Every structure is written in C-alpha cells, then in structure tokens.
A and B are shown apart, each in its own frame.
Chain A
Amino acid sequence: MTRSPAVQPDRAREEYAALVRNAAGGDAAAMERLLIRAQEVAYRFSLLVCGHVEDAEDVMQDALLGTYRHVREITDPSAFRTWLYSTVRNACLMKRRRRAGEPASFVPVEQGGEREGRTPGVDVPSPAPRPDERMVDAWIDRRLRRALASLPPAYRMIVVLREIEGLPTKEVAAVIGISEANVKTRLHRAHGMLRKQLQDV
C-alpha cells in the first residue's frame, strides 16, 4: 500500500511569485500567463464551490481585473497566491449571498438559509446532469463532482482549496480566516464524508 505523494505546494507558490515579479517588472508574457492562471483559478473554484456557470464567468472577470491592479501594487510576491484565493473566495461568497432565496440547483442550500418559506435542507442533485453540472463533468470525474456537491459548503471549500488546488493547510487557514487546526479537523471530516459518498455509488 502506498501513500499518496505529498503535495508540493511551495513550488507552485514560488511559480506565482516569479510570475508576479516578472509581470510587475514589465514582462508582458509573464503578465499574460498570470492573468490567465488567475482566471482559471477563479473559474475552477467558483464552479466547484458554488456551482453556477454564469457566476464562475463573473468571478473570472473579477480575478482578471483584480490581479491586473494588484500586481502593480504588490510588495510581497510570495503572498500573491493567498491574496488570489482570498479574493476569489470573497467574490464567490458575495455571489452566493445574492443567490440566497433562489432555488438552488447544484449547491445545497446553506444552513440557515430559506427557500420560499421551506425549511432549509440539503439539495440532492437529480440524476440527469443539469447544464452547469455538464460543464463540470467535462473536466472532473462525475462521481467526485457529485460527492463534492453533497458536502456542506464550508467543507467543500476546504476540500477544493487543499486537495484540488493543492494549498498547504496553513495557507487554506489564511484564505478562509480560521485556525490551521480547524482546517485539519474539517478536512478529516470531509474526507470521511467524501469516502462514504464515493463508496456508495
């Protein structure tokens, strides 16, 4: 039995830092690459955590403009990645708040939220994939997509940041604003839920 290879997060973080330094120094190719990567991060995060394609496209645009402005102001390039994920997360939270009260499709109704007077509950995706889900199925294992959708939003976000995006737990904690110990506890619980979901398929 082999262990999964440990994520090598620092190399990716250093790649971002190098791109930021070069882009800030006037390297046009580095700027383009950085702006594309920022949008891809935004799309992936938004679609996996919140599940609406049109929101994901809006969040891409926010990430593009925000990154372009931020690169010219940033003093610590190695802090860029944390900034990017925090920015994307905040943009997604704002989108989700605006959608509260609309019928949920892909995303379980957030605890405490209400939908047209009905009590909050977990929405189970219907068997036939909806358009947003087909978008995700194009690049992610369908079973995984369904398992992620079944997680409470707070757990889903941690799984996306840690296991899909590959951020170390310390950085996940910084992005979300909770302790590293809290991240590890939630991650452990989320692992258990995911495993059960994938087993039951």
Chain B
Amino acid sequence: MSDRCAAILANISAFLDGDLDQTMCAEIEAHCAECQRCAPVVEGLRQTIGLCRNAGTAPLPEHVRARARDAVTRLLRDVK
C-alpha cells in the first residue's frame, strides 16, 4: 500500500463522520476518484455506517413497543 493510501485510510473514519475540513475532504475524494484500492474501502465503510444508522432509526418489534407502553401506563397509574 502506498504512503498516500495509508494516509487516506487513516482518515476515513473522520471523513465519513464529517469531522474533516473542506480541504482534506476534497483531497480524499480526489484520491478515491483515482485509486482502485481506497475507493472500495471508503465505500464499504460508508455502507457499514449506513447499516448502523438504519438500525438506530428502525422501529423496534411491536411486542417490545407494547411492553414499553404498558409499563408506562402501569407506572403512571400506580403513582397517582
């Protein structure tokens, strides 16, 4: 792996997390446009993070939500 690739990959987490300044982002994007090694790595991580984000917003199974609602009802009734 070239030094340039290593430097790029060292920053991909920050890049995908929106943590880098514009200049560095542009450098990474430019590098990935040409590099067959780095582009799939960055894309793979982007997809992984996407799966995580979906998991965070997906509704929980109905029986879990029902359990939560029932517990709230019982609690608020018992404290009255």
Residues of A within 8 A of B (CB): 1-7, 28, 31-32, 35-36, 39-40, 43-44, 48, 57, 60-61, 64-65, 68, 135, 138-141, 143-144, 147, 159, 162-166, 169, 184, 187-188, 191, 194-195, 198-199
Contact mask B66-78 → A, CB, 8 Å, 1/0? 0111011001100
B residues less than 8 Å from A39 (CB atoms)? 67-68, 71-72
B residues less than 8 Å from A3 (CB atoms)? 15-16, 18, 25, 29, 46
Contact mask B35-61 → A, CB, 8 Å, 1/0? 000010111111111111111101111
Report B41 CB to chain A, min CB distance, Å.
7
The answer to whether B67 touches A57, judged by C-beta atoms less than 8 angstroms apart, is yes
A residues less than 8 Å from B19 (CB atoms)? 169, 184
- Interface residue count on the B side (C-beta < 8 Å): 44
Contact mask B10-38 → A, CB, 8 Å, 1/0? 10111111110000010001001100000
Give the residue of B25, B45, B58, B69 whose beta carbon is less than 8 angstroms from that of A139.
B58
A residues less than 8 Å from B32 (CB atoms)? 1
A residues less than 8 Å from B68 (CB atoms)? 35-36, 39-40, 43, 60, 64
